[in-house]
């Protein structure tokens, strides 16, 4: 096969959207379990090494955010707490706890969907990944499938409010 016949490599945007769609599947699973619908996927060397969704209600654990669970799964899968060859995809901008865990795990790249105006620690309220005082830097990009990621959260909270009115 000559080079002109090779399929074009997927664009960075297409690649990010592909993995974010898997994170959205996890968010849907959270929604179905009456959890705040946030999903996360961690990719290493082109393969998923972890996928998780919020489970705070189910586990009665305030730290059971999608990112935290995915980081634990990825570390177990790869046999190291240093996730230096991974990319985290998450449907909602990480909170301070999750951003701190990403820094501690040495994740080099985080791609997120919707902004979090109440707890966002990457762009909205804080910019932890850009803070030069930390000894690790995280490349990050947000707003990937932002409408879809935001819509599932809006739908969930609308449903929660309507349940309270009944």
Determine whether 5 is an active site residue: no
- State the Cα–Cα distance between residues 52 and 35, nearest whole angstrom: 12
- State the Cα–Cα distance between residues 1 and 41, nearest whole angstrom: 34
User: Coil, strand or helix: which one is 52?
Assistant: strand
Q: Token match 């990050």: residue? A: 140
Q: DSSP letter for 128, please.
A: G
Q: DSSP letter for 42, please.
A: E
- State the Cα–Cα distance between residues 106 and 101, nearest whole angstrom: 9
Neighbours of 18 (CB within 10 A): 13
Catalytic-labelled residue, pool 67, 123, 146, 148: 67
**Token reading at 146:** 């932002």
**Token reading at 20:** 């974010």
Show which residues are catalytic: 67
């Amino acid at each position: 096969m000559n080079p002109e016949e090779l399929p074009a490599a997927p664009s960075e945007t297409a690649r990010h959207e592909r993995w974010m769609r898997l994170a959205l599947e996890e968010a849907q699973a959270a929604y179905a379990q009456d959890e705040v619908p946030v999903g996360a996927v961690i990719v290493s060397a082109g393969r998923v090494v972890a996928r998780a969704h919020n489970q705070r209600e189910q586990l009665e654990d305030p730290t059971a955010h999608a990112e935290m669970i995915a980081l634990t799964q990825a570390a177990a899968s790869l046999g190291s707490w240093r996730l230096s060859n991974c990319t985290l995809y998450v449907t909602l901008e990480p909170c301070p706890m999750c951003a701190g865990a990403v820094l501690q795990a040495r994740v080099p790249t985080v791609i997120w969907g919707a902004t979090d105006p109440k707890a966002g620690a990457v762009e909205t309220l804080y910019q932890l990944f850009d803070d030069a005082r930390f000894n690790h830097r995280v490349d990050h990009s947000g707003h990937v499938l932002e409408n879809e990621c935001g819509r599932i959260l809006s739908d969930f909270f609308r449903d929660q409010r309507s349940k309270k009115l009944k």
